[in-house]
Every structure is written in structure tokens, then in C-alpha cells.
Amino acid sequence: MKAVVFEGQSHIPGLPYTELISRWEPLKKIQQVEEVQIIDSSQHPGKTQRDLIGDADIAMGLWITDHYFDEDFLQSHPNLKYASTSSHGFGRIDNELTQRHGLTITNTIYGDVTISQYAMALLLEICTHISRHSDYVKFEYLNDLSPEKSYERLFFPPLELYGKTMGIVGLGNIGYWTAKMAEGFGMKVIAYDPFVHTGEKYAFIEQVSFDELLSRSDVISLHCPYTEQNRDLINEQSIAKMKDGVILINTARGGLVDEQALYQALMSRKIYAAGLDVLKEESPVRRIPLMDCPYCIITGHIAWLTKEARLRAIDLQIQNLQNYLEGHPTSVINR
């Protein structure tokens, strides 16, 4: 079997591309895999991953957008039997079509703890504004001639998380780990997911309806997939059902949020603050109102970018392929 692997540059200081490539070495030791081709898509301008798969039986490291696997693509790639995305998220897939062509597709749950940690970091920055207060001590305090000068000067009122209610939307791996971290801060955790999660590990989480989560939460953190049903899940109507002064965190997908409605809610202070690692348009080519909102933190879809998670993504993709070849596939997303 021939495997094509799409592996781009790491974008992480201290993680050279050579280390990423070497992490794929165990793939070459799988008995059924006779040939491995590693491709950096950025070195092939004008061509997409779909153009570069060729006659491979296995394609790994895909960025699966909506309807990536359509009839024309599958007919022109008859050898392809296994495909994996290196990410948690993926676009819409025609399960019946891909199954009919004998294609198994998997995702990679590599960054649950990493992305959860980042969600909490956004929340803590909103609650404490540590970076602003550090800048004051380092660069402003000694030259501060204002009447407000104080070594203990507060530019924003700090917020305490203890005893407040964290609402988790989407109780998959990332949502679960965010819930655990919130519990560690002494927060009460409630969650909404279309599927009720059972078992002792979920005992500390109260699972509620979406509307109840909106009305009870002091903090709402989004960890659900972006689907047609979830498009603009946070909109004018859902915001109206929230507590006044709620905090919104989104490390999932930008399409979950109506950005204009969020901007208006922030400026009216219906929503106290928002921490976003994702936007509708990535990479943005124009300014949007949220970029000028003083109550909104925006970072560039980097919650997943730790060295540990980047390497774990490769390890898990190889393990998922091994499981598929052994007849017990894991993380299948086109069932």
C-alpha cells in the first residue's frame, strides 16, 4: 500500500520541520505500508491536497473541508481506502457516499488537554488582565505622574472564578477536559451536548438543555463541532437568553458565532467579555468590528500549537491507521 502524508511546517519555535518528519518513521515500519511519500503542500503552489494524493491507498494529514470527498474525487482516486485528518474538526462528509466507495475516514483527538488549557488561559486573562498589569509595572510605574499612581494599581476589576458556573457547549474530549479544569478552580460545571454522556467520569457535570445552560452560566465555553445546525449558534436570540455580564470563550470554530451580534452584545455589556481563538474568516483579510472592541481578546487559531500536541497528532494518526489495518478502526468519522 502507498501512503501519502501531508505535513506542513511546524510554526512552533523549537520544533524544526526535520523533527516532524522523523516522527513519521514508525509509519514506514508498518508491514502493509510499502511506500511513504511526505508532502509539504506549501511547496506546491497552485495545487491542493486533493491534487497531490495521486494513486495513494492511504492519505494522512488532510484538511477536510465541506464535501471534500465528492463523487468526482472518489471516482478519480479508486485506490484510496483510508484517509485521516490531523485535526479534531472536519467539514461535512457524505457518509453514504464514502462508505459506498469503501473509504474509511478518521480524525485525530490530539489536543484535548492543550486546547482546554488555552480556553482557560483566555478566561484567566479576562478575569485578571495579567499582561496589562505586568506592562504597567515594567514600563509605566516608575514614570507614572498621575494621581492614580500605585504599585498595586488595578486597571480592571479582577474577577474570581470560584463558585461561578461554567457552561460547556459540547462534551467531547476538549469539552470534558475544560470541565475538569473549571472544576479545579472551584466552579460548578454544567454542560449541553445532543448526546447524554454517562459514566462515573461525568458525575461532576450537570447535563442540561441548551437554553438552561444559556440562562445559568457565568462563563460559556464552546467546544462543539461546526455543522449546519450549529452555524451562528451564538446569535442575537441565544445571547438574549444569557445572564447579563456573561463571559464567552470560543476555541472551537468561528462559524459558531454571529460576530456582529457578539460585537453588539459586548458593546452593550450584555456580554462582559469574549476570548476568541477563532474567527469566521481565517486568515482575515479585512478588519472586523470585534478587532476594535476593547472587551474582546482575539488570537490566531493557535490553541492547538504546542510541541507536545503537534507530535501527539502524528503518533495518533499512525496508531489510528494501525488499528484500521488490524481490523478495529478507531476515531472513524464517516459512520
Residue 301: active-site member: yes
Catalytic-role residue among 129, 253, 310, 312: 253
Residue type, 109: I
* 207: helix, strand or coil: strand
The DSSP element (H or E) to which 189 belongs, if any, is strand 188-192
Strands across the sheet with 2-6, in order?
35-39, 2-6, 58-62, 82-85, 104-106
Cα dihedral value 211, 217, 218, 220, nearest 10:
-80
- Residue by residue, DSSP assigns 150-180 as -TT--SS-----TT-EEEEE--SHHHHHHHH
Q: Is 208 in contact with 191 (CB distance < 8 Å)? A: yes
Q: How far is CA 277 from the centre of its chain?
A: 8
Residue 282: active-site member: yes
Q: Is 275 in contact with 125 (CB distance < 8 Å)? A: yes
Residues with Cβ within 8 Å of 326's Cβ and at least 6 positions away in sequence, in order, are: none
Residue 223: active-site member: no
Catalytic-role residue among 34, 140, 282, 308: 282
Catalytic-role residue among 50, 153, 231, 301: 301
Q: Is 279 in contact with 259 (CB distance < 8 Å)? A: yes
Catalytic residue list: 253, 282, 301
